[in-house]
């Protein structure tokens, strides 16, 4: 299983939010490119970039993402507000190894299938979840879609993976939702990456034991609650 540091972008800065609440920002760093480079220097071999502004329709951080991709020496997955073919294509051309698509992929089944067929093995479908219901549009809207049913429906598409974020635990450093992640891993044909609440090496080991392929980590790394070097040594590749 691989640990993937998150670089969440808001207003050109690297930030961390609690529980998906844009009014509860706990971390703000001025140079996202330097942050990304530091994670690689420590030993991580994959990065996760999210444009929070694009995800919520409040703007975009395209220039920052382009710079990170230009300088990256490890594979990078990029998401946040990716809702059309042109953006997927542009991110791949600029150096993203995978593109993470959420809201439109959830709401538009035809588009989801078309994009997966057009970019086989390059898309990761993101299902942000609160109490097992999928939430969209930057965590602002809760659907009636059960995440297990949704993940099961993805089995016929040529995806790179599925990313499931336990929004109700995001940034709270209280541990991840192990029953949810185990059920998702069992339901998925594709590698599953967990996000939300991962705080310790024990959390990582528990996720690995339950069949997860990786975990995206944010707050625990940025606050130092989790030793980045130890994490990279055990789960860096």
Rounded Cα distance between 199 and 220, Å, is 5
Residue pair 148/131 in contact (Cβ under 8 Å)? The answer is no
Q: Which one of 51, 128, 177, 203 is the catalytic residue? A: 128
Residue pair 124/163 in contact (Cβ under 8 Å)? The answer is yes
Is residue 21 annotated as a catalytic residue, yes or no? no
Is residue 128 annotated as a catalytic residue, yes or no? yes
Q: Which of 122, 83, 113 is nearest to 101 (CA)?
A: 83
H-run or E-run covering 123: strand 123-130
Q: Which residue has the tokens 């549009």?
A: 137
Residue pair 33/75 in contact (Cβ under 8 Å)? The answer is no
Q: Which one of 8, 51, 53, 203 is the catalytic residue? A: 8
Q: How close are the terminal C-alpha atoms of the chain, in Å?
A: 7
Determine phi and psi for 108, rounding to 5 degrees: -125, 95
Reading the block at residue 22, the tokens are: 């844009």
The residues assigned a catalytic role are 8, 128
């Amino acid at each position: 299983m691989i640990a993937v540091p998150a670089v969440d972008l808001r207003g050109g800065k690297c930030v961390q939010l609690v529980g998906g609440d844009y009014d509860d920002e706990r971390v703000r760093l001025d140079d996202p490119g330097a942050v990304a480079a530091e994670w690689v220097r420590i030993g991580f071999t994959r990065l996760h970039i999210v444009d929070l502004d694009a995800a919520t329709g409040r703007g975009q951080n395209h220039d920052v993402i382009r710079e990170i991709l230009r300088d990256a020496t490890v594979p990078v997955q990029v998401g946040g507000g990716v809702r059309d073919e042109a953006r997927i294509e542009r991110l791949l051309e600029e150096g993203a190894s995978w593109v993470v698509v959420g809201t439109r992929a959830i709401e538009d089944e035809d588009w989801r299938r078309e994009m997966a067929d057009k970019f086989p093995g390059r898309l990761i479908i993101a299902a942000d979840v609160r109490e097992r219901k999928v939430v969209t549009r930057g965590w602002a809207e809760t659907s009636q879609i059960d995440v297990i049913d949704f993940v099961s429906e993805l089995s016929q598409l040529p995806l790179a993976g599925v990313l499931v974020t336990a929004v109700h635990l995001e940034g709270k450093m209280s541990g991840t939702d192990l029953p949810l992640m185990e059920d998702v891993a069992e339901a998925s044909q594709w590698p599953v990456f967990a996000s939300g609440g991962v705080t310790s090496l024990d959390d990582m080991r528990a996720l690995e034991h339950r069949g997860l392929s990786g975990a995206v980590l944010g707050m625990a790394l940025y606050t130092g609650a989790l030793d980045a070097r130890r994490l990279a040594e055990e789960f860096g590749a």
